[in-house]
Each structure stands twice: as C-alpha cells, then as structure tokens.
Structure 1
Amino acid sequence: MTMIDTIVTILGLSTTAALLLALFSSRPGLFPEGHMGGFTEGDAVQVDYDPASLQYMLDFFRKVAQSIPTDSSAASQDGDSVVPLDPGARDDSNRRAGIIVLREDLDFYVIPHRKDIGQAEMIEVKRAAAKALLKQDGIFSGLKRSDEPGTTEAHLIEMLTAGGFNHDDRWGHRAGEPNKAVICSLALARLRSDIRGNEMGNSAVGMAQKLLLFWRKPARRCWWEGVELDNVEGLEGQKLKVWIRRVWTLEMSVIGLR
C-alpha cells in the first residue's frame, strides 16, 4: 500500500488534489509522468511533508465526517430545508458535506537593504523576513490592497466568505519550507449549510454554490506585490523591501458520497 493509499484509508474519504498538493508540494518528480498512480508495488518514496499540516487535515476531515448523520431519520423535519450540495439530490443533502480546501504558496524575494551585504548576512535577513511574514497569518490580509469592488480578488473574497470562511479568519496551518524562501499555508472550511430554502434568491446562496464548480477541478490564481516589512528582527527601525508571489489553489471536497 502506498503512502497515498494509507492517507485515503485513514481519512476514509476521497483525497482531493489540493490535499495531496499540500503534502507533496515542490516535489515535481514524485509522481512519474505527472500521474499520481504511477508507482509500482515495492517502490520506496521518501517524502518530507509537514506532519503538522497532515494532522490539521486529518483532524478537520474526521470532525466533518463524524458530524454527518448516518440515518436519514436524523435529518431536519423543517419545511425550510437547507440548501443541498446537489440541487438534484435534495434527499441526500443531509448526508453530505462540502469542504473548501484553500492553499497558499508564498514565494518571497528580499531586496538587500544595503549594497555591501554578505551572503551569510543575507541568509539571516531572509530568515528574519520569513518570521515576519509568518506572523501575517490572516487569510485575506494579503488581498486587501486589491479588493476594490469589481476586481477578481473582491469576487474571490466574496465567494469564499459566502461559502464558509469569515473575513478575519486565519490560516489553519502556516509554515515555512525548509531551506527555501517559501511559506505554505492551508485553510479548510465547511461549506455553509445554514442557508434556508426560503432564501434561495439570496446572492450569498449563489456565491456559495459556485464553489461546487471546483469539485475535483482545482483552480489556481497568482498575485505579485511589493511590500515593506516593519520590525524585522535585526533591522529594527528600518523597512525591508520584499517582493511576494502568492499562488492560491482552491478546490472543493464533498464527503459522504458513495
């Protein structure tokens, strides 16, 4: 049994591409010819995934799975039923749950604060910059500069907050890649199921249901921005200029399907 099969067995769910990306990011040679099932029995593969990230995902998926009623009799008898995940399968909606999987890969490039800086000192500056960026753990804080109405960023924030996130949410897991100027973040949210049927005309419902388009079809979005970091360790009283490249991967996972 491969490591991926083991993870799927532990979860008892369908593993999303974004979830696998979170475990095996930055390892393009891991899946031969781009196929996740390209291994043969007996192949040994060493993967340095972050165990804290895996634990976060396992805990979240388990919690959601355990909250799904196992008997249709446990469903609400309220006439104003919640909006189903699949409009054509209203009777099964109480036995399914959607999980929004959002991942951010942040590459940062530090601009030397002086011309004569040595390599060893520059490495320390990069490490200090990474610490400062790790503290900026608000999910949407990096998009606030470009969230004017009508922009792609504003639409994305509106869709995600309608679906299950809050504007002030923080990343569930955020950590730097060893020996790289890269910070990987992951956030999971359960797709809202508290919108009643008599609110079907509400724009929030349409926004939330748009997320179902990303089921098994992960989408990516990239942003570049230049920022100035304050209070960087070792550079007190100075501003450190950094270029940031954010790549978001968004996918939906629906559990409870058989």
Structure 2
Amino acid sequence: MTENILTQVSQEESPVIQQHTQEDSIDYNSKINLNIRGKRFTITRDELMSLPESILLCLFPNGVFLDAHGQVITSLTEEDVVYVNFCPETFEYIINTFNEAQHDLHESAPLSPQSSGHKIFQDNSANVLQNKPAIIVLREDLDFYVIPPVAGLTADQIRQLKVSVAHEITSNKHIFSGLGYDTNILSPQEQKLGPAEQHLFDMLCSSGFDPRGSWGTRNSEPSRCMVSSLSLVRLKTHNQHSPPDSPSLKPVESNASSASRSRSRWATLASGATRAASRSLSRSSKHQDVNHSKLLLFWRKPARKCWWSSQTVHINLKDIIKGKDSFDIKVHIRRVWTLELSIVGVQ
C-alpha cells in the first residue's frame, strides 16, 4: 500500500447542486418523489441538497434527474417521479441518520428565519464542530474478481459462483477488516497495521468509530461483482461527554492506631488521582482537537483511496458443479474508500 491511505481529491461540484443553487426562485420545501429500485420515497429539495456530496454523486452520478425511461427531467415538478439506481435500504439509513441529526440540532438551538440552512455559517471551525452535529461519512466500494476453480464452467455456473462469493464477502461486516484489522485479536494495541492504516484507524476511532464496529449497511450490487458499504458516525465532541467523575477514595475505617495516618494517605491519593484525571482529560481534549482539524480537511471535499488485496473464500460448490463439494476460491479485491465530513445545518 502507499503511505497515504487517503488521498484528497479535488472534485467538480455536482451538476445537480449547480442547477439549483443558481436559481434564486427555487422552492426548497417542494417535494421530490424518488423511485429507488422500486421503493418510493418523498424528500424535500432542502433535505436532498443537504446530503454530503459523496452521497449525492452516488445517487445521481450524471448530475441530472432521470425518469422511468432514462430521460432527463428538465423541469422537475412535484408530480414527476425520479428514478434512482441505488440501494433503498442504504438510502433509508442515510435519511434516518441525517433526520436524527437535524432533530438534535433543532432541539439544542432552534434556527431563526435569518439563520436558515441556506446561509453560510460565519464562524470558526472549532465552534462549528462544537455547535453543530457532524457526521463522518465512510463509504467502501468493493469490486471483486473471481478465478474459476475448474475450467469449462458455463455462464450460469460462473454467475452462481460469483453470487456465492458476494454472499461470503458481505457476511464480513467489520469495517476495518479492509485495512488488515484482525477481529480475532481483542486488543487494538496488538494489531499490526501499516503506518498509514494505523493513522487512519486511530483518527476514525478517536472521532466516534468503534474499533470492532460493523458497517451501517453492506449490500451486493445486483448483476455486478461489487459490494457497497456505508457507515455514518456522529463525530465525538467535547460537549457530548462530561468530565469523568473524580475517584471516590474515602478513608478506610479502621480501629488501628494508624487510622489518622491512613486517612491522610488516602486524602493525598485522592488529590493526586483527581489531578491525574484532569491531566488525562486535557490530553484527550487536545488529541480530539487534532483529529477534528484533520477531519475538517474532508468537509465538502471527499477524499478517496484505492488499493488492491486478495483473499481465499471457501465456497460450497455442490449446487453449482456436480461431483464437487467445496473449493477455496481465489478472489482479487479492489477497494475504494471515500471519506467525507458533513456538518448538519451548515450549507
């Protein structure tokens, strides 16, 4: 792997975003009807435009709205239905996560009409992350290539083989396994990751990810040798966690003649423990600030990293190839990770 696990890329803005931000008379409360692989959703323009750029580009890769016949909808109305080739379960996960963050934002500090989501928030970055809910968007697009174990397979047998491989890959839902994280090793300190992978792992886990966490959604794409995964994690901030309680160190009740000296020693220990807890909290806050500064580099600027790996997948072939029970299939994997930070309430 290269040293930098994530390489920031400069992207052109989505044409969908450009189309609407250039129109002064746009009604952001108008409804948009979506048909996502047969499942209907209704969303407002405001909700749609507030989604991260990396997600918008997945929903509308060409930057336009398409009808049932694949034709561009030039003038969208509330009667039109936009057809989207995207996983409906993943879209529902996205909407629920951002609606929850939006609800928390309004509960903590209701927005005034003058501070609508379409006004750029004029504040320093530290205050933005402390005052607004932030969501870390981590997406993995995994393409896999299967080498048939025997020659002479038919097209249908190869298709079944690929479906079985996709099922085995999606069954591993651990986020960091792609970085080489071994779930059989309980302690993260015992993991042997590369320096770049370790840096990314530490940054994400210090910001809200669970070292042994699973993808929010992980699904194989229909008719493609591809698995798409997404995890949306709320950024951990100082104001989400109260300082740890001071250790409750009380003098030990004793009838011994040295009881007073014991109480004095316990009091000294309690005082020292309190100072140590304060120093630990200060170091933790500084470390968190550093991570936040790094994550701000990905605000509105998705970063991508691609790398190759291979693994052996054990597949039961008795339903695919007669006379064969199982095979160890060699699978080559190409992973693309996309990382972006989204701050709710800031446009």
Contact 1:232 1:240 in 2 (8 A): no
By how many angstroms is 1:152 displaced? 2.0
Q: Work out the CA distance in 2 between the residues paired with 1:240 and 1:64.
A: 43
8 Å contact from structure 1 (residues 110, 242) kept in 2 = yes
Of the three residues 218, 229, 236, the one matched with 1:174 is: 218
Identify if the C-alpha distance between structure 1 residues 236 and 214 changes in structure 2 by more than 3 Å, giving closer, same or farther.
farther
Report if aligned partners of 1:130, 1:181 keep a CA contact under 8 Å in 2.
yes
Deviation at 1:153, TM superposition (A): 1.8
Which sits farther off after the overlay, 179-188 or 208-217?
Answer: 208-217
Q: Which residue of 2 aligns with 1:162?
A: 206
Equivalent position to 2:335, from 233, 246, 256: 246
Cα shift at 1:251: 0.5
Which residue of structure 2 aligns with residue 220 of structure 1?
A: 304
Please list every run of 5 or more consecutive structure 1 residues that lacks an aligned counterpart in the other structure.
Answer: 33-37, 74-85
Instruction: Indicate conservation of the 8 Å contact 2:173/2:214, yes or no.
Output: yes
The one of 181, 184, 207 aligned to 2:291: 207
Asked if the contact 2:180–2:193 (Cα under 8 Å) also holds between the matched residues in 1, the reply is no
1:256 alignment partner AA: G
1:114 counterpart (143, 146, 150)? 150
CA distance in 2, matches of 1:94, 1:30: 32
**1:52/1:210 Cα in 2 relative to 1: closer, same or farther (>3 Å)?**
same
CA contact (8 A) 2:102 2:344 kept: yes
CA distance in structure 1 between the partners assigned to 2:337 and 2:225 by the alignment: 17
Match of 2:282 in 1: 198
Normalising by structure 2, we get a TM-score of: 0.59
Matched residue of 1:46: which SS?
strand
> How many Å apart are 1:94 and its aligned residue?
5.0
1:1-258 alignment to 2 at 5 Å? 7=43, 9=45, 11=47, 14-24=50-60, 28-31=61-64, 40-42=74-76, 46-68=83-105, 70=107, 90=127, 94-144=130-180, 148=192, 151-193=195-237, 194=240, 198-199=282-283, 202-232=286-316, 234=318, 236-257=325-346
Is the radius of gyration larger for structure 1 or structure 2? 2
- Answer with 122-131 or 62-71: which moved more: 62-71
Compared CA separation, residues 242 and 208, structure 1 to 2 (3 A): same
Paired with 1:88 and 1:177, the residues of 2 have a C-alpha distance of 37
TM-score (norm 1): 0.78
Distance 1:88 1:160, change over 3 A: closer
Q: How many residues align?
A: 236
Q: Work out whether residues 8 and 14 of structure 1, in 8 Å CA contact, stay in contact via their aligned partners in 2.
A: no
Structure 2: runs of 5+ lacking an equivalent:
1-29, 35-41, 66-71, 111-122, 183-190, 244-280, 319-323
Amino acid at match of 1:62: N
Give identity over the alignment, percent: 35
| Residues 142 and 227 in structure 2, CA contact (< 8 A), matched pair in contact too | yes
Which residue identity lines up with residue 52 of structure 1 in the other structure? Answer: E
- RMSD of aligned Cα (Å): 3.2
